[in-house]
Amino acid sequence: MNLTKIALIRMAGQRCRIAPLFERKSETSPTMVSSSRLPRNSLFQWALTLGLVLLPGSRWADAGEGLMAWSFRVQGTVDMRPGNDYFAGPSLYYSNYNVFNHKLQLGASFLTNRPEAAWRRGVPVQDWYLLTPLWHWKRNGFFDPTFQMDMGWTWFDDEGLGLDNTAFIVAPSLGVNFNINQGRYGLHTCLGYQAITSSLVNPGLALVEIWAMF
Amino acid sequence: MRFARKWSPVLLAMGLVGMGCQINQPECDSNCIDHWLDGPNYFDSSQDALRGTPAFNARVRLSTRDSQPDSSQLRLPVIICVHGFAATTYEWSEFADTVAAYNAGRSDSILVSRVLLGGHGGDIGEFQASTWRDWQATVLKEYDTLVARGYQNISFAASSTGGPLLLEAFAAGAFQKQAPRHVYFIDPIIVATDKFLTLAPILGPMIGNVEMEGTAEEQPYWYNNRPTEQLTELYTLINRCKNRLEDGQKLPAGVSLKVYKSKKDESADPVSALYLKKGLRQSGGRPIAVEMVESKLHVFTRLAGREKVSARDRQNQSRVFAEMIHDLSASLAENP
């Protein structure tokens, strides 16, 4: 039984279960009886279920051609001065043979300096949430030049001072990926430019990440 | 040909860097206007009033103004005013005027000493050749001189770069012999608002000289040219302070410090206040006082020469000056 069938059965089951729930709600709320619309949370459940059906059933994941990788990423500011602030955290990447032959990878990262802030009391706590399309020029080679575009959002704890403590992130970067053991794991490093600078976001960007397929 | 094609981007980049190095010198000899601080004839006495000249700076510094104080003067509160990067003692002239008005007819007056940072106030070449340690040296010299003369109640007011200069002095143990009483930071710069300052050490030779032209009234008192070497020095200084604050810094016993920071500031990022709040502690481990001020001005206590000044700006200035004067006069009452 494939995933699509399981999801369709799940959808049918949900439809059966939602109906009595909806009727029970209408007993206590007369206005709901006359309404033919689904409650908002039910619409969300439908959309979520449909998404779960479409995603594994799409061409992208067809015949197991998708590749997932995780990484540990560390990045900092390029300023040629000691005492850099570093942000580190996990990333998840996905690529597919049917989409540019794995040359395009899509990633999501959560970076933070919370561990550093825990032992250095003056470091403002800062989190980064990033989505990253990453292009590989030589996906099968050991030496694989890359281009990526980090897009996302960052926040820092202003400790009640009323500072402007959120900002969007847009950062193009050029780098190189070293594919080791036929691309089962590797090292990726690049230099980039933060197009949107803010209180704690400086223009120079350098990052290193180690990754592995799973 | 193949070599040239392959390496042409690199050669182009090297050429640009080389050109940057060529245009690195501030072009003041021919381009600066006479009445500018970095103009060629600024110190010609026929051209300008005394403000900003060496003679004037000797007069506004307490150690050179009053070389033989009597015992009654030694107990009076002294406040040393430290100005910011590329500025002059003019930055604290309104405070000196306010204190002079307060002192009129009083025996328990407050003494103001305005110190010109090392490397500042002279010709642009002298400024370009100075380091942040040179900037700091005149402040420490004034403090040491006043302590040696017997002044017992000395405080500091520092604007912008004056803040990190004093933090460095505290970290180096410069006030071990006698600690200052009160320290006020007005818009201290720990993080610059213009983030390209972080690239000054790398791209400096390409950036060359940065011009920041102020109003006609400001031009005689601030360098309009900011050479790349000085921007790198400034970044070196504030980066040192930021790193130390991240590790945590403690003030000597008996020092109370208050930070006033504009909520919007084109020079010193308001996040500087957060670094000071988190990283700096009084000797007993208590946090320092930090106040965010409703203002868009950098060094909001200096209103002279500004293009636009609102009623709120005037309120901010008079309130902060009044608080400082109140603290200083109270310190005299505590230790008569």
The whole-number average pLDDT for the span B209-213 is: 79
Q: Is A37 on the interface with B (CB under 8 A)?
A: no
What average pLDDT does chain B have?
A: 86
The bridge status of strand A185-193 relative to strand A166-180 is antiparallel
Whether residues B271 and A121 touch (CB distance < 8 A) is answered with no
**Contact A199/B235, CB-based, under 8 Å?**
no
Does residue B133 belong to any structural domain of this protein? yes
Residue B14 confidence (pLDDT): 53
* Minimal-distance CA residue of chain B relative to A202: B195
Whether B21 maps to a domain, the answer reads no
Q: For residue B200, what pLDDT is reported?
A: 87
Please indicate if any CB of chain B lies within 8 Å of the CB of A82. Answer: yes
Task: Enter the tokens of residue B313.
Answer: 């700006």
CB–CB contact A81 B199 (8 Å): no
Residue B54 covered by a domain? yes
Instruction: Please give the CATH number for the structural domain made up of A63-213.
Output: 2.40.160.20
Please give the model's pTM, rounded to 2 decimal places: 0.82
Q: What is the pLDDT, as a whole number, of residue B209?
A: 80
Query: How many domains does chain B fold into?
Result: 1
Q: For chain A, which residues make up each domain, given as ranges?
A: 3-57, 63-213
Q: What is the pLDDT of residue A30?
A: 39
Task: DSSP letter for B172, please.
Answer: T
The percentage of chain B sitting over the pLDDT mark of 90, rounded to a whole number, equals: 61
Region B146-162: what's the mean pLDDT?
Answer: 96
Which mean pLDDT values do the consecutive 10-residue runs of chain A (214 residues) have? 43 38 36 40 52 44 74 89 85 94 95 93 95 95 96 96 96 96 93 93 94 92
Which DSSP string do the residues of B200-224 spell out, in sequence order? HHHHHHHH--EE----TTTTTTS-S
The answer to whether residues A173 and A195 touch, using CB atoms and an 8 Å cutoff, is no
Q: What is the DSSP string of B239-303?
A: HHHHHHHHH-EEPPTT-EEEEEEESS-SSB-THHHHHHHHHEE-TTSPBPEEEEES--SSSTT--
Strand pairing class (B249-250; A126-136): unpaired
Using the beta-carbon criterion (under 8 Å), do A159 and B263 form an inter-chain contact?
no
CB nearest A203 (choices: B199, B201, B271): B199
Nearest CA among B79, B80, B76 for reference residue B109: B76
How many angstroms separate the CA atoms of A116 and A85, rounded?
Answer: 9
User: Nearest 10 degrees: CA dihedral of A52, A55, A58, A59?
Assistant: -150
Q: So what's the pLDDT on residue B31?
A: 56
CATH code (residue B193): 3.40.50.1820
| Share in percent of chain B as helix, strand, coil (round to 5) | 45, 15, 40
The domain containing residue B135 runs over which residues? 37-68+75-334
B157, part of any domain: yes
Let me know if residue B25 belongs to a domain.
no
Residue written as token pair 């193009």: A172
Q: Would the pLDDT of B105 be above 90?
A: no
Across the interface, which of B196, B248, B271 has its CB nearest the CB of A200? B271
| Average pLDDT value for residue range B273-288 | 95
Could you read off the pLDDT of B78-96 as tens digits, one per residue? 999 999 999 999 999 999 9
pLDDT at B213 over 50: yes
8 Å CB contact of B201 and A81: yes
Nearest to B282 by CA among B261, B254, B259, B260: B254
Per-residue pLDDT tens over the stretch A9-47: 444 444 433 333 223 333 334 333 333 344 445 555 555
Going by C-alpha positions, the residue among B84, B246, B226, B93 that lies closest to residue A113 is: B246
